[in-house]
Structure 1
């Protein structure tokens, strides 16, 4: 497994920005789908505010509780993952395959919960006539920190804020994403990563209307 990360000083972090943990979460997610059922796995690993496209954009848990598992689950594997400097947000993308042989791609946004467990908050994908070429090595990249040493990332104090408490840290903006559906049904999912000087678009999924 090849893990690439920028060589730069990082401020103290609440979570370590570890691409391997995201890859492990994806592998466990797929294994759960094969063992317990496709939609069961999606429901058990989703955050409460997770969204997915079916193909319209829906609140995942509301939609999933009405679904029966298919007889055999789709299978998938990540090709590359991107992790924020703060280690609490990640994006993965790769290939999937259905039991009938049809193929496609997926993009999943992951977020750590308060206990540090990865939960997915956005899942998107589409079919392809030919699968994307799978890489020889799974790759992980970490975004460059967008804050200076004088503004470290830190966990907020527990409980309700008290008078005199320091304000909570600003959000980590080293990895940002968007997922939109146009009125004609076309979809666009974008993930951008801070490189130190500018944002680089690392995922750009576009699905035409009617797909």
Structure 2
């Protein structure tokens, strides 16, 4: 089993969010990830997804929320809305970028052994202050090795947590969130990874799934009759399948 890349991901996020200024001036998230992982022993690096998420958010701030979503989307990307997953490009191409973007941060990233497929999950905050959770699937683009998102689902907390009240005279130091990064075990030479366990969908639910080319990671979505949206990510580790990411979201508000 490969080690979790939690420490490396924490360093990367801290440096990137601080603009990573050095003697030669600011560096981009891509510069940081390349330098930090240049000597890493594994082809699959969850830190690359963390860097991609940061690049994505910076692009949203600079170019607009929906413009960035299109720029970072795979050609067949889908967003899971109130009626199920729908093609993302027709949806976001018809919308005008909002003045203020959503802020988000991944908390968990799981990746296939071959590095071709990853699932991230984390927290977000809307400009109005509403907070919630997201799940995003990332696929490596064979043309340029960049990761593009292919599935996205998100939902607000219900109920919302109470607003944070801070004394105006207080000095607040916010710690950098630790991100858990996990990589699936690579099959031994000549060995075959067993198929993941079958998921029985809820009654009346539409559903779908996809596995990485090497068969070490599987993600699954479900749209239930009551409008609940469900997503999960499983990976192969220590000779068995483990569910790491599992989230349910109520039908989004009008």
* Partner residue of 1:195 out of 237, 242, 245: 237
Q: Distance in 2 between matches of 1:54 and 1:210?
A: 7
Structure with greater proportional strand content: 1
Deviation at 1:151, TM superposition (A): 6.1
1:86 to 89, 114, 122: 114
Q: Please tell me whether residue 19 in structure 1 is matched to residue 46 in structure 2.
A: yes
In the alignment, which residue of structure 2 is the partner of 1:142? Answer: 183
- The Cα RMSD (Å) is 2.3
Answer 1 or 2: which has greater helix percent. Answer: 2
Deviant stretches of 4+, over 6 Å: none
Counterpart residue number, 2:102? 74
C-alpha displacement at 1:208, in angstroms? 3.6
CA 1:135–1:144 in structure 2 vs 1: closer, same or farther (change >3 Å)? farther
Larger mean CA deviation between 52-61 and 21-30 belongs to 52-61
Residues 109, 120 of structure 1: 8 Å contact kept: yes
Aligned positions, number:
181
Compute the TM-score of the two structures, normalised by the length of structure 1. 0.78
Q: Do the aligned partners of residues 97 and 175 (structure 1) sit closer, same or farther apart at CA in structure 2, a change above 3 Å counting?
A: same
Give me the whole-angstrom Cα distance separating, in 2, the residues matched to 1:68 and 1:53. 19
Partner deviation per Cα, 1:43-83 (whole Å, 9 max, x = no partner): 00000111112333211112111111112111111112111
Given that residues 77 and 149 in structure 2 are in contact (C-alpha distance below 8 angstroms), is that contact kept between their aligned partners in structure 1? Answer: yes
Residue of structure 2 aligned with 1:116, choices 140, 145, 148 = 145
* 1:10 corresponds to: none
With the length of structure 2 as denominator, give the TM-score of the two structures.
Answer: 0.66
Q: Which runs of 5 or more structure 2 residues have no equivalent in the other structure?
A: 1-5, 10-41, 163-174, 193-211
Structure 1: stretches of 5+ with no match in the other structure: 5-14, 153-169
1:184 aligns with 2:226: yes
Contact 1:3 1:19 in 2 (8 A): no
2: CA distance, partners of 1:210 / 1:76: 18
Question: What is the rounded CA distance, in whole Å, between the counterparts of 2:101 and 2:70 in structure 1?
Answer: 14
Quick one: higher RCO (CA 8 Å, sep 6+), 1 or 2?
1
Q: How far apart are residue 207 of structure 1 and its match?
A: 2.1
| Correspondence for 2:216 | 174
1:73-123 Cα shifts (integer Å, max 9, x gaps): 111111121111011111111110111111111111100001211000011
